Amino acid sequence: MTSNTALNFLVGTIFLLVITFLGYYPQQEDFDYLFPGFIVAFVAYYFICKKPDTQKSLAIWLGMAILARFLLLFSLPNLSDDIYRFIWDGRLLHQGINPFEQLPGYYILPGNEVSGITQSLFEQLNSPEYFTVYPPVCQAIFAFSTWLFPGSISGTVVTMKTFFLFFEMGTIFLGIRLLDHFKMNRKQILWYALNPLIILELTGNLHFEALMVFFLTAAIYFYVKFGACFYADHPHHIPGHFPPFSASRPPKGVAPNPQMSSSTILPPDLRNTTEQDSEGSPARRYAMGNLLLSGVMMGMAIATKLLPLMFLPFFIKRLGWKKAMIYFTVIGITLVALFAPLFSGVFLSNIGSSIGLYFQRFEFNGSIYYLLRWLGLKISGYNLIQVLGPLLGLFVFWRITYRAFKERDWNDEGNQSVFLPSHTSILPKRQADLKEATHADRLSLQQLSTLQLFRQMLFALTLFLFCTTTVMPWYLSGLILFSVFTGHRYPLVWSFMILLTYVNYSYPVFTENLWVVGIEYLVVGIFVWWDFRLDNSSLTWNAISK
């Protein structure tokens, strides 16, 4: 065993031991254990992600990422009590009762008793005064898990975690496929796969961002397959969509890498197709099938967490209005089909009231909102959350929509105005290189459409998190995924800094330490500034391509 192998083994073992310890032993209030554990886990995480340079070592680290999640399979969530609401909703569904119909307190009143719904379970709910807010994909997992283990909390937890394990494996697999398509280094996926926050909060504590991230990744994957096939081998294809994967040579400055050929994303009978623009061609039918699958996956993501709704405006200029309407129709049909079993006379009002409370009552780890709240207290003398929360939500909606429609028109063949992010190895590094690019280079340039889509989604989610009233650690899951493809590192820094907010649970009475919040956002703000400063520079793609 070489010294390098021994060091890797030691770091990997330490990482697994610390993750296992953090997943089983400390509770929310045990910050004296959590904080040192977070530090050790993130140091090992950084070492591992910067280390692998061979396919063999990458496979080992990916295996360790899956093993870390498997080791947490039998632990009860220790940093969140949301699991009890999951079980509550699931047991109601198992009895044929819609969990959106009544507040939890209704079922502990005399005469309203339901099997499995007990006083002890009620006392463990963290928000019994609010209607459930979990969309139908979550409810389906609740119902199946409690049906399989109707009287066992631990059995229900293991069932849910098994689902999460497979969804997380799916995210990692599809992430690698997308990295191959963009000719990025596969080791980039480790920034997501081994992130301690992702492992502990998603698989460890059963936050459904794990499923949302998978469905979102799948939606983008099928969108890539749609563009790759729909516009393949057309001499006058639409800029901004995907090139044929059979380009005769790689772009300037990028060495050929047969192990990362993105042609594998298409079935063999459609690779190197020479069929032209016929609407009924196999390539076109296959492409539209993938667009429909992308819409279904996006609908599933929204039916898991409503958050991906904010990304839809960015598809309009990429698809054009006609195909965008088809795409949105598929999403709408998927959502109606999934929500239909839960529809009732009070469904919309009850879930709407709970969502409204999120913007008007809940406060945790805010940034811009906290500054405006302080200013409002100085001016009016009371907390203006009922005004500030909705106003900030409207601001985020306006800013995302404005950014989406101000983006370049990806369907305008004459539009050569493109923004070249520094985090892209497949692109010429200077605007002037566009005119000198060969046909193969120009084909590679069209991948900018989806690379820019990742950046747009990163911007949208970052803006939302900076403006919202509540930012929990697991809310960063999407940012961490997007950073794999954009090269931005502030989501990774944030994933460590936000864990410091667990200090709030260590006091005799829960108290939010605003000094910790201030330090968190100061550090994150510096890295945000640094990352976007690099975006506007001519720096190369070292963070991702090497």
Q: Express each pLDDT in 384-393 by its tens digit.
A: 988 999 999 9
Cβ–Cβ under 8 Å, residues 425 and 254: yes
CA 299 to chain centre: 14
pLDDT per position as a tens digit, 144-170 = 999 999 989 999 999 999 999 999 999
Compute how many other C-beta atoms are within 10 angstroms of the C-beta atom of residue 237.
20
What confidence score (pLDDT) does residue 291 get?
Answer: 93
What is the per-residue pLDDT for 357?
Answer: 73
Tell me which residue range forms the domain holding 369.
Answer: 3-78+159-545
Judge whether 150 lies within some domain: no
Distances (CA, A) of 113 to 82, 102, 117, 132: 22, 13, 7, 18
Higher pLDDT, residue 62 or 355: 62
Q: What is the pLDDT of residues 227-274, one digit of tens each?
A: 766 655 443 333 333 333 333 333 333 333 444 344 455 565 555 554
- Whether residue 152 is contained in a domain is answered as no
pLDDT at residue 545 tops 80: no
Does residue 64 carry a pLDDT above 80? yes
State residue 184 phi and psi, 5-degree precision. Answer: -95, 160
Per-residue pLDDT tens for 215-232? 999 999 999 888 766 655
Torsion of CA 39, 465, 487, 13, to 10 degrees: 30
When comparing pLDDT for 317 and 351, which is higher?
317
* Alpha-carbon span 440 to 271, nearest angstrom: 16
Does residue 143 sit within a domain?
no
Give the pair of three-digit tokens for residue 534: 């690099």
Q: How much of the chain exceeds pLDDT 70, in percent? A: 80
Mean pLDDT, residues 77-95 taken together:
95
In this predicted structure, what is the pLDDT of residue 393?
Answer: 92
The residue with greater pLDDT, 268 or 204, is 204
Identify which of 469, 289, 286 has the alpha carbon closest to the alpha carbon of residue 362: 469
Count of Cβ atoms closer than 10 Å to residue 502 Cβ: 20
**Tokens standing for residue 161:** 């975690």
- What is the separation of C-alpha 117 from the centre of its chain, rounded to a whole number of angstroms? 33
Q: Classify burial at 388, counting beta carbons within 10 Å of its beta carbon; exposed 0-12, middle 13-18, buried 19 or more.
A: buried
- Look at the block and give the residue holding tokens 């909390």: 153
Question: 71 in a domain, yes or no?
Answer: yes
Residue 182, pLDDT score: 85
**Predicted local distance difference test score (pLDDT) of residue 17:** 97
Instruction: Give the count of domains, the chain.
Output: 1
Write out 451-507 in H/E/C secondary structure: HHHHHHHHHHHHHHHHHCCECCHHHHHHHHHHHHHHCCCHHHHHHHHHHHHHHHHHC
- Cβ-Cβ contacts under 8 Å for 90 (sequence gap 6 or more): 139, 141, 142, 143, 144, 145, 146, 147, 156
Q: Report pLDDT for 508.
A: 93
- Please report whether residue 14 resides in a domain: yes
Per residue in 490-516, pLDDT (tens digit) is: 999 999 999 999 999 999 999 999 999
pLDDT at residue 90 greater than cutoff 60: yes
Confidence of residue 73 (pLDDT cuts 50, 70, 90): very high
Is pLDDT of 343 > 60?
A: yes
Non-local (6+) Cβ contacts of 69 within 8 A are 164, 165, 168, 199, 203
121 occurs within a structural domain: no
Non-local CB neighbours of 29 within 8 Å, separated by 6+ positions: 505, 506
Average per-residue pLDDT in the chain? 83
Note whether residue 456 is domain-resident. yes
The reported pLDDT for the residue numbered 4 is 79
Kindly write down the DSSP assignment for every residue of 52-85, as one continuous string: --SHHHHHHHHHHHHHHHHHTTTPPPSS--THHH
pLDDT in tens, 277-296: 455 567 778 888 999 999 99
Q: Is residue 107 part of a domain?
A: no
